Structure 1
């Protein structure tokens, strides 16, 4: 994750991320970003030529930070299966945290129309990075078809996130963990 942001950029990215995560991209105007960040509009446009570019940068930074957190949260186990299943423990912790508003990347993709839009590209990048990390975990288990299992785990992860957002509780993580355990019981070890 780049650490060489100028203080004005950090303030703009922090404000933008908070506002779009809690209220949405379309509901967040440049005036609100300027007000929350304390940075002048002229400075904003010097760093980011458009609101879209600012939102894209804020989401890229969130992707780096979220992935670092998720990897750290699932790295405490030596047993590969336990490590894979710890994805749902990490999600449960996130769902219970203050300020949880679902997946910023699913939220953003849902707000932005065309699949070719740069903000949708950041959402795809995040899901691709999450998929690749889960692939790493499934490959470590020694199970047959690890990439296919990783894809199924990604569906369980995103489903749990959706349930947590809609119902406002952590039960989706528990249901996804039970489904994952059943899935793993029926997958043979590769030979």
Structure 2
């Protein structure tokens, strides 16, 4: 693949991701994608079979980029407890960023009824990666049941995202962080 082809593909995916995040998958028609990206329909179809393929590729790239950012921000802590609490600090900065519209994966999964649809599967994969990361951190603690702790922390993360977006509560991540801190004190006293 030459550089021009890669640039065109990247432009299509970047535009598709922005459109999906702003307005949802159903609002991102091929006509809108052509107009917004400035890429000819023929060029889009040279890279992707249909709108669903474009959406799936855009969401997959968003997953990789978001997880890399989230891990990088969270991993700034020196101890597992600090890294766990940093997850909520990272969310706060995301919530306060321009254009925050909640979780792209929750939003798009809500648009698709079929649990086997590729978009739903990408959303599920994203949440599984997030759970795996939280479990990785919880597993570094000396706790009896790191799996249960990781699932509880994931609920706090997801709840904070939802409260911030739906309710406009910019303190949701801070509130969830405080609950997480209390949980960590309970499961690993003296740490």
SS in structure 1 of the partner of residue 187 of structure 2: coil
TM-score of the two chains, using structure 2 as the length reference: 0.94
Counterpart Cα distance in 2 of 1:169 and 1:95: 9
SS in structure 1 of the partner of residue 101 of structure 2: coil
Name the residue aligned to 2:63.
63
Q: Alpha-carbon deviation of 1:169?
A: 3.7
SS in structure 1 of the partner of residue 140 of structure 2: helix
Runs of 4+ in structure 1 deviating by more than 4 angstroms, as ranges, are none
Aligned residues of 1:105 and 1:123 also touching (Cα < 8 A)? yes
TM-score of the two chains, using structure 1 as the length reference: 0.94
Q: CA RMSD in A?
A: 1.6
Is the aligned partner of 1:132 residue 2:126? no
Name the residue aligned to 1:47.
47
Q: Alpha-carbon deviation of 1:168?
A: 2.4
Counterpart Cα distance in 2 of 1:34 and 1:169: 35
Give ranges in structure 1 of 5+ residues lacking alignment.
none
Name the residue aligned to 1:20.
20
Aligned residues of 2:141 and 2:188 also touching (Cα < 8 A)? no
Name the residue aligned to 1:118.
118
How far does the alpha carbon of each residue in 1:3-43 deviate from its partner, in whole angstroms, 9 at most, with x for none?
A: 9x711110100110000101111112111111111111011
Q: Kindly report which structure 2 residues correspond to 1:26-45, keeping only aligned pairs within 5 A, or say none.
A: 26-45=26-45
Name the residue aligned to 1:156.
156
Counterpart Cα distance in 2 of 1:80 and 1:103: 25
Q: Alpha-carbon deviation of 1:178?
A: 1.5
Aligned length: 187
SS in structure 1 of the partner of residue 28 of structure 2: coil
Counterpart Cα distance in 2 of 1:169 and 1:154: 18
Counterpart Cα distance in 2 of 1:71 and 1:123: 18
Counterpart Cα distance in 2 of 1:152 and 1:52: 33
How far does the alpha carbon of each residue in 1:104-159 deviate from its partner, in whole angstroms, 9 at most, with x for none?
A: 00001000111000110000110010110111111112222111111111111010
Counterpart Cα distance in 2 of 1:154 and 1:129: 11
Aligned residues of 1:144 and 1:188 also touching (Cα < 8 A)? no
Counterpart Cα distance in 2 of 1:14 and 1:168: 26
Give ranges in structure 2 of 5+ residues lacking alignment.
none
